Amino acid sequence: MENVSNSKIFENYTEQDLPEVGKLLSEMLKDTFFMTFKGDLGAGKTTLIKEILINFQLESDFSSPTYSIVNEYKLNDADFRKAYHMDLYRLKHIDEAHEIGLTEYWDEDKTVCLIEWPEIAADILPEKCINISIFVNANGSRKLIID
């Protein structure tokens, strides 16, 4: 991993590196509670989120919220008891984010929010948020930029 200004970059991480990357990101979340994930379809956003939640002692079945938009998971962790995994890909306008009560999720204690495709809600996301960008390299490995 390298540091570029305030960004951290993982170059060429693979599926075998996911436990290490997930552990690092889960430690970072303890200071912010919010993390966004950007990347093309199939880049590994959902897989990485699952790895993060495993570090918080995930007690619920895990699935992608592509159609439900928001999934809630129980956690058995000293810092977090619940996680919201959001996939905003299908939202077309900021009003839809308001209609589903998106900002209400931020107000819960001992809760972490992990948000895929956050662009539509950029104006209403908490200021203290870690942003993750995932890029697929030509060899199939991933590049991860943490801001």
Over residues 68-85, the pLDDT tens digits come to 999 999 999 988 999 999
Quote the CA–CA distance of 135 and 141 in Å, as a whole number.
9
pLDDT recorded at residue 5: 43
pLDDT recorded at residue 69: 95
Collect contacts of 8-13 with beta carbons under 8 A, ≥24 apart: 8/145, 8/146, 9/143, 9/144, 9/145, 9/146, 10/142, 10/143, 10/144, 10/146, 11/143, 12/137, 12/139, 12/141, 12/142, 12/143, 13/141, 13/142, 13/143, 13/144
Question: Is 1's pLDDT higher than 80?
Answer: no
pLDDT recorded at residue 98: 92
Question: Is 3's pLDDT higher than 60?
Answer: no
Question: Is 65's pLDDT higher than 60?
Answer: yes
pLDDT recorded at residue 49: 97
Structural domain 2-146, CATH architecture: 3-Layer(aba) Sandwich (3.40)
Per-residue pLDDT of 88-108, as tens digits, reads: 999 999 999 999 999 999 888
Of 142, 20, 25, 134, nearest to 83 by C-alpha is 25
The structure's pTM equals 0.91
